[in-house]
Structure 1
Amino acid sequence: MWKTMLAAGAAVLGLAGSAHSAVTVIGGGMAQACSRAAIGGESDPKFQEVCTLALETEFLHPRDRAGTYVNRGVLKLRRMSYADAARDFDMALRVKPNLGEAYVNRGAAAIGLKRYEASLADINRGLELGVEEPAKAYYNRALAYEGLEDAKSAYFDYQKALEISPDWELPREQLARFTVTRRTER
């Protein structure tokens, strides 16, 4: 039988936050600055403005346009503007429907909105399409499973995230909360 300390898990779930996957934009200008900010972990609103200016004023290849929407959405996720971030991921998918990072990040926004079922569908689609940082996708999917009170699936996804990215502390910290026991048959 799989057990986890659900009371502690619920509290940590709110604090852990989701992992965000930015998209590298090649070239110069504001779109690239937006990409660097998203990849670099920035959260200052001024970087969102840089992304917006890039989208409004720069001629961008469709992949870079979609990537800039994803990156602006990532910046919004860091500020817990989940609904606004989800709109950016929707825009990215209109431009490039097969961009795995847009799905994974839209799933992260859904987790922030406590829409766990929707997050699973998006994260699974992102994993099917392929993402540059699959460990983050598995970590987010684990958070969604915890939100759905499916401790066993969460445990396996935290393990998968750690297997892919063994130096990443977040999945290791989450796994430390779990107690795994085997049910004995009588």
Structure 2
Amino acid sequence: MKITTGLVCVLFTLSTSAMAQMSVTTIGATDALACYENARNEFSGDTGPCDKALVDNAMSRGDRKKTFVNRGIILNREGEVSAAISDFNNALDIDGGLGEAYLNRGNSYYLMRQYDDALTDYRQSLDFELSKPWAAWYNIGLAYDAQKMSEKAKEAYQTALDLNPNFSQARDKVEGRN
């Protein structure tokens, strides 16, 4: 079942998607690069290049962790949330300080309506060098909104907007247009 709830995904290259939360992809080589491209493409549900890349024992640990994150994003998009969590956990086993893995695993929990777990992971992602910290704050706002905590949500959206004044989704939330 495909998840289409109007959520926003943000990749390392900051593109929007049909998902609600901000996601972060990473770049690898060969099949890993094709996996990255599929993760960036909001309409792609093809994990084939990711699967091929991950059987390559010569792939660096860095490319392997990034490929797990990218495949997890695709799996989330396709509604295979448990498999996505497994991929994000695999990435964290390689690098426990990978903020993008925490952020995207938070998206999995969000999709499962486990908002407290999502909030924990979104906050954890901020403890590391997350390439787009405003994405985590935006997602924190979404989780608070889902819990009917509108004041906390608005504060989180404002923090996202403070970090990235051009972030229109956060601006819309702060201004009550969305």
Choose 54-63 or 153-162, whichever is displaced more: 54-63
Show the counterpart of 1:54.
53
Tell me which amino acid in the other structure corresponds to 1:44.
Answer: S
Per-residue CA deviations over 1:21-45 (Å, capped at 9, x if unaligned) read 11233xx31112212332x334322
How many equivalent pairs are there? 161
Choose 151-160 or 166-175, whichever is displaced more: 166-175
C-alpha deviation, 1:139, in angstroms: 0.8
| C-alpha distance in structure 2 between counterparts of 1:173 and 1:76, whole Å | 28
Tell me which amino acid in the other structure corresponds to 1:20.
Answer: S
% identity of equivalent residues: 29
Structure 1 consecutive aligned stretches of length 4 or more whose deviation exceeds 4 Å: none
Q: 1:131 to 1:66 in 2, by over 3 A?
A: same
Show the 5 A alignment for 1:54-73: 54-57=53-56, 59-73=58-72
Normalised by the length of structure 2, the TM-score is: 0.82
List gaps (5 residues or longer) in structure 1. Answer: 1-13, 179-186
Show the counterpart of 1:30.
31
Show the counterpart of 1:90.
89
| C-alpha distance in structure 1 between counterparts of 2:98 and 2:123, whole Å | 13
| C-alpha distance in structure 1 between counterparts of 2:172 and 2:52, whole Å | 38
Show the counterpart of 1:146.
145
Residues 1:104 and 2:107 aligned together: no
Show the counterpart of 1:44.
44
1:43 and 1:75 in contact (8 A); partners too: no
Which secondary structure does the structure 2 equivalent of 1:24 belong to?
A: coil
Tell me which amino acid in the other structure corresponds to 2:87.
Answer: D
Choose 79-88 or 132-141, whichever is displaced more: 79-88
How big is the alpha-carbon RMSD for the aligned residues of Structure 1 and Structure 2? 1.8
Residues 1:77 and 2:76 aligned together: yes
Show the counterpart of 1:6.
none
Show the counterpart of 1:9.
none
Show the counterpart of 1:3.
none
| C-alpha distance in structure 2 between counterparts of 1:81 and 1:176, whole Å | 34
C-alpha deviation, 1:58, in angstroms: 5.1
Residues 1:131 and 2:134 aligned together: no
Please say which structure displays the higher CA radius of gyration. Answer: 1
2:106 and 2:117 in contact (8 A); partners too: yes
Q: 1:81 to 1:166 in 2, by over 3 A?
A: farther
List gaps (5 residues or longer) in structure 2. Answer: 8-19
2:69 and 2:87 in contact (8 A); partners too: yes
